[in-house]
Amino acid sequence: MKKEIWVVKFGGSLLSDAKARRGFLKQIAAVSRRRAVVLVHGGGPEINAALAKMGMAPKFVKGRRYTDEATLGVVEGVLSGQVNKALAAELNSMGAKAVGLSGRDGRLITARALAGLGRVGAPAKADPGVLKTLLAGGWLPVVSPVASDARGRALNINADEAASALAVALKAARLVFLTDVAGILDAGKKTIPVVRCRGIQDLIDGGVITGGMIPKSLSCRSAIEKGVHEIDIIDGRAGLAKMKGTRILP
State the residues that interact with Mg ion by CB under 5 A.
212
Q: Quick check: 42 binds ligand ATP (CB under 6 A)?
A: yes
| In the complex, minimum distance from the CB of residue 65 to ligand ATP, in angstroms, rounded to a whole number | 9
**What distance in Å separates the CA atoms of residue 20 and residue 216, rounded to the nearest whole number?**
20
| Cβ atoms of 32 and 25 closer than 8 Å | no
Among 184, 195, 197, 240, binds ligand ATP (CB under 6 A): 184
Least distance between ligand ATP and beta carbon 208 (Å): 5
Q: What does the per-residue mask of binding to ligand ATP show for 141-170, with x meaning CB under 6 A? A: ------------------xx----------
- Give the range of 78-86, 93-101, 179-187, 222-230 binding ligand ATP by CB under 6 A: 179-187
Beta strands in the chain (DSSP E): 5-10, 36-41, 60-61, 64-65, 98-102, 109-113, 120-126, 140-144, 146-148, 154-157, 174-179, 194-196, 230-235, 245-249
Contact region with ligand ATP (CB under 6 A), list: 24-32, 50-58, 114-122, 173-181: 173-181
For the bound state, the minimum distance from the C-beta of residue 161 to ligand ATP, rounded and expressed in Å, comes to: 10
Distance (Å, whole) CA 166 – CA 163: 5
How many other CB atoms are there within 10 angstroms of residue 249's CB atom? 15
Nearer to ligand ATP, 108 or 234 (CB): 234
Binding to ligand ATP in span 195-234, by CB under 6 A: 208-213, 216
By C-beta, is 93 or 210 nearer to ligand ATP?
210
Binding segment for ligand ATP (CB under 6 A), chosen from 54-62, 77-85, 112-120, 176-184, is 176-184
Q: Which one of ligand ATP, Mg ion, none is in contact with 103 (Cβ closer than 5 to 8 A by kind)?
A: none
CA distance 179 to 171: 23
Closer CB to ligand ATP, 13 or 71, in the complex: 13
Which residue, 212 or 245, has its beta carbon nearer to Mg ion? Answer: 212
- How many whole angstroms separate alpha carbon 224 and alpha carbon 218? 10
If you count them, how many residues does the chain have?
250
What is the Cα–Cα distance from 213 to 11, expressed in whole angstroms?
A: 11
Sheet with 36-41, strands from edge to edge, namely 98-102, 140-144, 36-41, 5-10, 174-179, 230-235, 245-249, 194-196
| CA-angle at 65, arms to 200 and 124, nearest 5° | 65
Q: Which does 184 bind (CB under 5 to 8 A by kind): ligand ATP, Mg ion, none?
A: ligand ATP
Residues that bind ligand ATP (CB under 6 A): 11-13, 42-44, 159-160, 179-181, 184-185, 208-213, 216
